[in-house]
């Protein structure tokens, strides 16, 4: 395999440290100011924490923080006399020499972890923060201080080449055109889960909650809800406001695949992989849904690139970036929890493949771990106080739960079932149609990409001593394993983080074959490139036709209740004034059972009639304008409504796939029965 050209050029890793004696060469004046300022801030913070009588944990933290502040002040006064350093200065300078940083950067590292601890303690598990400034301010300060602890200015490097940036921008534009246009109608109906994310975001905007560290709808960390909240603030409660963030995340992932492929191998590998992903039907679909799982693919790509760069160069900035990405990813979809496991696995494998590299990089791993703690501490604290929120996403989807519900459940049957489930998890990439959130009748990869991926995967396995092989193979395998061990295998929503790596492997094989042939016939370079490009373009065009014409024309993946809710929301969205809906949907659905109605038309009052027409327990109309809605199974009650309230307007709502959806009997203005 071809050795990758550098994406950017750095000086060797040994120039990115201060050296064993650098601690004593820091400017005394600057160090004195920093230590005195840090100590004063800690002293003030300790007194502030003691004033927060609502939390005994914060009051308990105030004493050690005050002691730490006093130590920093003492060091600040003594740091000027480097010929006879104080005991405290010597203690602080020692880890600095080991980690290759200045003494004041050791203080930054300690302050970062202190701020993380305070933020975690101040972040209550309820929907509202008692002291937002303390919790959020300390969290952000801890992250900034974490980066400052490893920052080393003056390291010579060249920025990413302009041609790489140009390709990245062009790929993002292509990807966004396939993801961000007409998100109001493709997919055709806003699902209840998308709307539930929207309602959670609206809750932040209207002040119902402000704790970004608690657990919102379906035990998802609340931090993610700030993203759709920002779009809703400018675009209103629309489908587009929920889906545009996903389109942006999906497009950025395409760009990330290009840069990662270029970083690991070469420009052609990155380009082919990115183009495959840009046109991939599976990825386009999830980039058009207002869900949080599309972001996991982006985090996996960025984390893999940052960690690879960190390990190869030894630069602390990359290790800190890797830690930041891991910590932030944990606030998104469930598959992000695989990332810390993958990082540990990659460290072990890279160490075994190149033992000296671990000796060079262990300080960077310390910085990476500290940054993970700084970012994820409030979330981890919440999980410790509410372990059910941590286990809930796993417990909902474990395949063993479904097995346990069956008859004659025995351990031997479970033992035999799990290997088959795992195999099906891997087949979800290439020849087993995805289920649940994307029922297209196709796996993640359609035939051409599936063949290229399979051959690329085998090619990688032949080169197990290459660390790049393990980076890609373990990534793809971990997502497939997660898919196999969960219900509805292969459930499409759990493969989003795996889509970038499988197309990158497919692009790698196509580029590798082209390079091998080009070595044999060097004068046929443009012919080889042309054929390879035609393969990529034909795969993109085939997936484009499949998704936007075949899949969309079938209107697959939507159940009838979701379509009823969408049609009803479209109808009510055109109304103005005081409107009320009396909904006859029992036992199949209720007015509020699909969140899209509440999200899209919050101004309409909806009530469920749980008994047949005429029952006195049913809600009675009270608004100036009333719509009675009857879904299939309540046809007979339509005529009764017309007899009870004559003079209204009957509207029939139909769908090209499901046919008749519901009958709407509209009375505007409403006249009560005599």
Strand ranges in 42-145 using DSSP code E only, listed in sequence order: none
pLDDT at position 557: 53
- As a whole number of angstroms, the distance between CA 277 and CA 502 comes to 9
- pLDDT at residue 7 above 60? no
Tell me the β-bridge partners of 655: 659
- pLDDT at residue 419 above 70? yes
Which one-letter DSSP state was computed for residue 215?
Answer: B
Residue 442: how many CA atoms within 13 Å on its side-chain side? 20
Mean pLDDT of 71-90: 70
Most confident of the ranges 74-88, 167-181, 650-664: 167-181
Q: Which residues of 102-135 are buried (b: 16+ CB within 10 A; e: fewer)?
A: bbbbbbbbbbbbbbbbbbbbbbbbeeebebeebb
Contacting residues for 108 by C-beta, under 8 A, at least 6 apart: 38, 145, 146, 148, 149
| Strand pairing category for 649-655 and 659-667 | antiparallel
Least confident among 1-10, 115-124, 303-312, 472-481: 1-10
Per-residue pLDDT band for 526 (boundaries 50, 70, 90) equals confident
- pLDDT at residue 1 above 60? no
Question: Strand, helix or coil at 490?
Answer: coil
- As a whole number of angstroms, the distance between CA 183 and CA 192 comes to 16
pLDDT in tens, 439-498: 999 999 999 999 999 999 999 999 888 999 999 999 999 999 999 988 888 999 999 999
- As a whole number of angstroms, the distance between CA 628 and CA 650 comes to 10
Least confident among 91-105, 140-154, 471-485, 635-649: 91-105
Contacting residues for 217 by C-beta, under 8 A, at least 6 apart: 196, 197, 199, 200
For residue 459, give Cα distances in angstroms to 82, 262, 454.
Answer: 58, 18, 9
| Strand pairing category for 579-584 and 625-631 | parallel
Q: How far is CA 594 from the centre of its chain?
A: 24
| Strand pairing category for 605-608 and 579-584 | parallel
pLDDT in tens, 166-205: 999 999 999 999 999 999 989 989 999 999 999 999 999 9
Per-residue pLDDT band for 207 (boundaries 50, 70, 90) equals very high
Most confident of the ranges 167-171, 396-400, 526-530: 167-171
pLDDT at position 405: 55
pLDDT at position 643: 92
Per-residue pLDDT band for 84 (boundaries 50, 70, 90) equals low
Residue with tokens 């704790």: 211
- Token pair, residue 623, equals 């608004």
- As a whole number of angstroms, the distance between CA 83 and CA 89 comes to 12
- As a whole number of angstroms, the distance between CA 171 and CA 267 comes to 13
pLDDT at position 82: 53
Mean pLDDT of 516-523: 86
pLDDT at position 6: 44
Q: Is the dihedral of CA 665, 659, 189, 292 positive or negative?
A: positive
CB atoms within 10 A of CB 636: 10
pTM for the full model?
Answer: 0.91
CB atoms within 10 A of CB 172: 21
Per-residue pLDDT band for 372 (boundaries 50, 70, 90) equals very high
Q: Quick check: 333 and 296 in contact, CB under 8 A?
A: yes
- As a whole number of angstroms, the distance between CA 92 and CA 78 comes to 12
- pLDDT at residue 391 above 90? no
- As a whole number of angstroms, the distance between CA 191 and CA 561 comes to 10
Tell me the β-bridge partners of 215: 221
pLDDT at position 413: 66
- As a whole number of angstroms, the distance between CA 616 and CA 106 comes to 73
Residue among 326, 309, 305 nearest 368 (CA): 326
- pLDDT at residue 11 above 50? no
Mean pLDDT of 511-522: 89
Element (H, E) at 666: strand 659-667
For residue 208, give Cα distances in angstroms to 113, 173, 203, 308, 331.
Answer: 30, 37, 5, 42, 20
Q: Quick check: 139 and 119 in contact, CB under 8 A?
A: yes
- As a whole number of angstroms, the distance between CA 329 and CA 343 comes to 13
- As a whole number of angstroms, the distance between CA 72 and CA 674 comes to 83
Q: Taking all residues of the chain, what is their mean pLDDT, rounded to a whole number? A: 88
pLDDT in tens, 540-558: 999 999 999 988 876 555 6
pLDDT in tens, 12-48: 444 444 333 343 445 566 777 888 888 888 888 888 8
- As a whole number of angstroms, the distance between CA 645 and CA 672 comes to 8
- pLDDT at residue 652 above 80? yes
Share of the chain above pLDDT 70, in %: 89
- pLDDT at residue 86 above 70? no
Mean pLDDT of 302-326: 95
């Amino acid at each position: 395999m071809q050795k990758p050209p550098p994406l950017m050029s750095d000086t060797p890793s040994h120039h990115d440290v201060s050296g064993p004696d650098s601690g004593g060469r820091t400017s005394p004046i600057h160090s004195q100011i920093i230590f005195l300022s840090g100590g004063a801030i800690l002293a003030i913070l300790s007194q502030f924490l003691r004033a927060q009588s609502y939390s005994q944990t914060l009051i308990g933290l105030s004493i050690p923080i005050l002691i730490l502040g006093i130590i920093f002040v003492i060091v600040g006064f003594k740091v000027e006399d480097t010929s006879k350093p104080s005991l405290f200065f010597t203690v602080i300078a020692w880890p600095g020499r080991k980690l290759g940083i200045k003494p004041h950067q050791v203080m930054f590292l300690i302050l970062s972890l202190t701020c993380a601890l305070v933020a975690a303690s101040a972040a209550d598990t309820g929907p509202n923060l008692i002291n937002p400034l303390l919790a959020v301010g300390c969290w952000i300060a801890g992250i900034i201080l974490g980066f400052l602890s490893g920052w080393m200015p003056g390291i010579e490097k060249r920025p990413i080449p302009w041609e790489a940036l140009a390709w990245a921008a062009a790929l993002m534009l292509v990807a966004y055109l396939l993801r961000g246009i007409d998100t109001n109608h493709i997919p055709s109906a806003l699902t209840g889960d998308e709307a539930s994310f929207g309602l959670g975001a609206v809750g932040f905007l209207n002040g119902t909650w402000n704790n970004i560290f608690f657990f919102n709808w379906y035990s998802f960390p609340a931090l993610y809800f700030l993203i759709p909240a920002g779009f809703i603030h400018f675009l209103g409660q629309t489908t587009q406001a929920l889906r545009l963030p996903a389109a942006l995340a999906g497009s950025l992932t395409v760009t990330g695949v290009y840069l990662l492929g270029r970083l690991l191998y070469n420009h052609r590998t990155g380009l082919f992989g990115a183009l495959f992903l840009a046109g991939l039907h599976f990825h386009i679909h999830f980039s058009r849904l207002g869900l949080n799982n599309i972001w996991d693919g982006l985090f996996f790509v960025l984390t893999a690139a940052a960690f690879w760069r960190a390990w190869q160069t030894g630069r602390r900035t990359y290790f800190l970036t890797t830690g930041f990405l891991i910590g932030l990813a944990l606030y998104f979809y469930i598959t992000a929890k695989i990332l810390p496991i993958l990082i540990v696995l990659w460290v072990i494998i890279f160490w075994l493949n190149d033992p000296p590299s671990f000796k060079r990089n262990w300080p960077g791993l310390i910085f990476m771990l500290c940054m993970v703690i700084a970012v994820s501490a409030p979330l981890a604290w919440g999980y410790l106080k509410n372990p059910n929120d941590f286990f809930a996403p796993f417990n909902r989807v474990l395949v063993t739960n479904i097995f346990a519900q069956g008859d004659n459940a025995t351990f031997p049957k479970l033992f035999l079932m799990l290997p088959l489930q795992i195999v099906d998890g891997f087949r979800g990439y290439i020849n087993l149609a995805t289920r649940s959130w994307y029922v297209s009748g196709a796996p993640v990869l359609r035939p051409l990409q599936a063949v290229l991926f399979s051959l690329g995967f085998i090619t990688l396995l032949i080169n197990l001593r290459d660390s790049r092989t393990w980076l890609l193979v373990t990534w793809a395998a971990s997502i497939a394993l997660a898919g196999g061990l969960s219900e509805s295998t292969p459930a499409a929503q759990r493969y989003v983080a795996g889509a970038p790596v499988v197309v990158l492997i497919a692009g790698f094989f196509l580029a590798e074959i082209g390079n091998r042939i080009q070595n044999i016939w060097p004068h046929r370079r443009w012919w080889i490139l042309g054929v390879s490009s035609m393969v990529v373009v034909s795969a993109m065009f085939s997936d484009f036709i499949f998704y936007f014409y075949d899949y969309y024309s079938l209107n697959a993946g939507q159940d009838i209740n979701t379509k009823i809710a969408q049609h009803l929301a479209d109808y009510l969205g055109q109304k103005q004034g005081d409107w009320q809906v009396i909904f006859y949907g029992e036992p199949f659905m209720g007015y509020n059972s699909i969140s899209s109605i509440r999200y899209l038309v919050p101004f309409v009052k909806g009530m469920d009639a749980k008994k047949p027409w005429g029952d006195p327990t049913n809600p009675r109309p009270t608004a100036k304008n009333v719509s009675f809605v009857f879904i299939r199974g309540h046809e007979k009650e339509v005529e009764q409504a017309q007899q009870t309230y004559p003079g209204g307007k009957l509207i029939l709502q139909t769908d090209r796939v499901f046919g008749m959806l519901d009958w709407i009997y509209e009375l505007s203005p409403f006249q009560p029965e005599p």
